[in-house]
Amino acid sequence: MIQRYSLPKMSHIWHSQNKFQKMLEVEVAACEANAKLGKIPKKALYAIKKKSKFNLKRIEELDKKTNHDVAAFVENLQENIGKGGEYIHMGLTSNDVTDTALALLMKEAADIILEDLNSLSTALVKKAGRYRDTVMIGRTHGVHAEPTTFGLKMALFYQEINRNIVRMEAAKKTISVGKVSGAVGTFSNLEPEVETYVCKKLELAAAPISNQVLQRDRHAEFLTTIAIIGGTLEKLATEIRGLQRTEILEAEEYFSETQKGSSAMPHKRNPIACERICGLARVLRANGHAAIENIALWHERDISHSSVERIIIPDSTILLDYMLNTMTDLIEHLVIYPENMKRNLEKTAGLIFSQRVMIELIRKGLTREKAYRLVQKHAMITWKEGKDFEELLLADKEITKVFKPYQIKKCFELDYYLRNIKKIYKGAGLEKKTTIQ
């Protein structure tokens, strides 16, 4: 992944030094297991544990000759160990090492992503609490519908992020599996006890059955989970972008004093972080698709998946780490405009209360169709002519015959739309997690 979207902690996981270190851990653990079974002399194991080291430049040199990075890695280990090095990689196939090491790397990456998700969850729940009663217009199809609150919007995303935490925990478990079963998974040159020992030592589950590779449905679950999380971030970013439009301006990305929104127009304050997140979410989805394509391999294995995974797994985890950190910072510093929310509520001259008026007319004995048509008639006049909706209703004798003026006025009170939000928070388990400020 390019430096622009790479944060140090996650990038370190995918550095070649860390990758080969994990491979070394697998190799040494396998030697320990073989020694316990009497397959490797104790002297050789001592030499392996004491002298096992690798050099990235040397591996690159050997790789140019072998055209096989694992073979180059093993050869470099043997060079450094000397006598006893012949027992390194005994009975193993490349994917015993690389797939098990990859599981360790993905597990580490998952832990960082889970930390990121929890940080974003905290930022969202704080906003949900602070703005629980901040009334704004709810929109369907981009058109004014009925009042809602900004806090409820944030609570919705808080819940979705928490579902993504559950998904990532499940994906982490799915991928935390090792495989040390030989060339086609039959333990032909290894004892099953070796796999058991290696996986237990590395805190992985052992694959119940494998062929030459761990099955790629595991990796696809991990990458598609990342893509789903990216989809949630894109949805949240799209919401903020919509609210930042000049004619709406109910929420806005923080804009620093030294920041420039446009190289040409000094007045511009653009939702660039949100737009970046929306763009990067497309990459995560594409990588998720590639992971699904990797599931089908020929017979006991081929390597059509390998070149793809060298790109999509590091890139997706690095990108998601960046996106989650960016979104958390964005939410923490999001600028909210309650006065604009109030102004926008009043834009349609009371039309947003039409459903409540209709329901009250039905309660007074009108049929639903009659009540709907009566209310719609005045709503359309308000749409076309801009006349006050409440005044039109009060002037209609057919309505006031069954509906007293003070009862009509009560339909236009915002408190009515706030009355159940506390219950929503309680039902969603948010009541104790939010502090109303």
* Ordered domains of the chain (ranges, CATH): 1-90 (1.10.275.10), 92-341 (1.20.200.10), 351-411 (1.10.40.30)
pLDDT of residue 435: 57
What's the average model confidence in pLDDT over 266-274?
A: 89
On the 0-12 / 13-18 / 19+ scale of CB atoms within 10 A, 112 is buried
C-beta atoms surrounding 428 within 10 Å: 16
Pairing of strands 177-178, 335-336: unpaired
- C-alpha distances (whole Å) from 91 to each of 184, 350, 404 are 12, 77, 89
pLDDT of residue 348: 94
Query: Model confidence at 434, in pLDDT bands (50, 70, 90)?
Result: low
Structure tokens at 321: 């780490």
What's the average model confidence in pLDDT over 329-343?
A: 97
What's the average model confidence in pLDDT over 143-153?
A: 96
Instruction: Give the distance, in angstroms, between the CA of residue 37 and the centroid of all CA atoms in the same chain.
Output: 44
How many angstroms separate the CA atoms of 437 and 430, rounded? Answer: 15
C-beta atoms surrounding 83 within 10 Å: 9
pLDDT of residue 340: 97
**One of 16, 188, 262, 304 is an active-site residue; which one?**
262
In the chain, what percentage of residues exceed pLDDT 90?
A: 90
- Active-site residue flag, 94: no
For residue range 178-194, list pLDDT tens digits in order. Answer: 999 999 999 999 999 99
Structure tokens at 251: 């929420």
What's the average model confidence in pLDDT over 27-56?
A: 96
Nearest to 213 by CA among 119, 300, 106, 309: 300
Residue 321 has pLDDT above 80, yes or no: yes
The mean-pLDDT minimum among 22-31, 77-86, 262-271, 415-424 falls in 262-271
How many angstroms separate the CA atoms of 365 and 66, rounded? Answer: 87
Query: Model confidence at 437, in pLDDT bands (50, 70, 90)?
Result: very low
Residue 432 has pLDDT above 90, yes or no: no
Computed from CA positions of residues 80, 85, 88, 94, in that sequence, does the dihedral angle turn out positive or negative?
positive
pLDDT of residue 431: 76
Residue 271 has pLDDT above 70, yes or no: yes
Please list the alpha-helical segments (H only) found in 7-93: 8-13, 16-36, 42-51, 56-66, 69-81
How many angstroms separate the CA atoms of 383 and 374, rounded? Answer: 15
Residue 393 has pLDDT above 80, yes or no: yes
What's the average model confidence in pLDDT over 137-162?
A: 96
- Active-site residue flag, 256: no
- C-alpha distances (whole Å) from 235 to each of 13, 150, 258 are 28, 15, 28
Nearest to 220 by CA among 295, 280, 299: 295
pLDDT of residue 268: 82
Residue 262 has pLDDT above 90, yes or no: no
The overall pTM is greater than 0.85: yes
Mean pLDDT of all residues in the chain?
Answer: 94
On the 0-12 / 13-18 / 19+ scale of CB atoms within 10 A, 188 is exposed
